[in-house]
Amino acid sequence: MPNPHPTTSVEPVPTVPYDALLLLSFGGPERPEDVVPFLENVTRGRGIPRERLEEVGRHYYLFGGRSPINDQNRALIAAIEKDLAEHGLDLPVYWGNRNWEPYVADTVEQMARDGVRRALCLATSAYSSWSSCRQYRDNLADALAAVPADLVAPQVDKVRAFYNHPGFVAANVDGVLAALADLPDEVRDAARLVFVTHSIPVSMSEASGPDGGAYVSQHLDVAAVVADQVAAATGATRTHEFVYCSRSGSPHVPWLEPDVNDRLEELAAEGVPAVVLVPVGFVSDHMEVVYDLDTEALATAERLGIEARRAASAGTHPAFVAAIRELVLERAARERGEDVPRPAVGARGPSHDCCPAGCCLGERASAARS
């Protein structure tokens, strides 16, 4: 006899236990009058005189006093929301910044007022170091602690370092391929792939990750993967290397080198005819990219007679947007106790979900701008 009250299994919501996604970013000025106050936020406690901030601010004034990063975050959020909706996922996306509006403290308070109880945080930085990971975590912790006592602050977990997720890598590979295709035929196969990331103090680099040295080794690992995939796609193996940009701070403090402009001088002397600048250390084309690479480095290459193109960053590339969804679903499943694949390419494997207590300690010096 059939059961008059059949039981039905209910599929778990794929994003449980998370009821929101928080995009946490650096922030940037929106108007010329925002520039110096923004830089004061970035450098607070470091004793940098206003004259120096005004000097750095001229980079922003070249672009109307407006950083590209906020508009890029708006575009990324729109792309994430569209992708989630297309895959039947109802997960609100919030946005907070460390150094400019919308401030993360205000966003976290709004999340509490909206009844968010547990959120997953995606920081717009793919690598491990104090300035690219732990400082985001510390600022987020401060924001959560500042939630008014009459509200319940949400629990917020941070997405694992995603530099070697296949989707992030695929976006960068496509950027390199498009840049190579734009080079003259006669120099394309001889082009040097010059991967670029933000320089940080050597002491910070040495203290990055749970065992030290993660910042550099992660970048080198992903550069090798991108170069290999580009070679497979084009049938030409090209020399690749890593350089740095956006050094700031005291000249007496050692920072990661070589600087991209210095290295271009050397490559010209070596007779390298063409380069593709690959900003694999950056998620989007913000100020370090549009000024330090598009403005300064490309001008250096032109002066030296090197054909140079700049590859696009991951930005809103569909593979990267899909990777964000995959990272959300992966972490949600793991929090539910499920054993799920954790995609990663290269030699290092997937990063930890929860940072160890001593991870990325060391010198607490942050980058001067974004």
Residue-wise pLDDT for 99-137, tens only, equals 999 999 999 999 999 999 999 999 999 999 999 999 999
Give the residue-averaged pLDDT of 191-196: 98
pLDDT of residue 358: 85
User: What is the C-alpha to C-alpha distance for residues 247 and 259, in angstroms, rounded to an integer?
Assistant: 8
What are the φ and ψ backbone dihedral angles of 211, each rounded to 5 degrees? -120, 5
The pLDDT confidence band at residue 12, using thresholds 50, 70 and 90, is low
pLDDT of residue 16: 97
Residue 10 has pLDDT above 80, yes or no: no
> What is the percentage of the chain residues whose pLDDT exceeds 90?
86
pLDDT of residue 11: 61
Please write down the HEC assignment for all residues of 293-318: HHHHHHHHHHHHCCEEEECCCCCCCH
pLDDT of residue 2: 45
User: What is the C-alpha to C-alpha distance for residues 132 and 26, in angstroms, rounded to an integer?
Assistant: 10
The amino acid at 253: V
The pLDDT confidence band at residue 216, using thresholds 50, 70 and 90, is very high
What are the φ and ψ backbone dihedral angles of 193, each rounded to 5 degrees? -90, 115
What are the φ and ψ backbone dihedral angles of 278, each rounded to 5 degrees? -115, 105
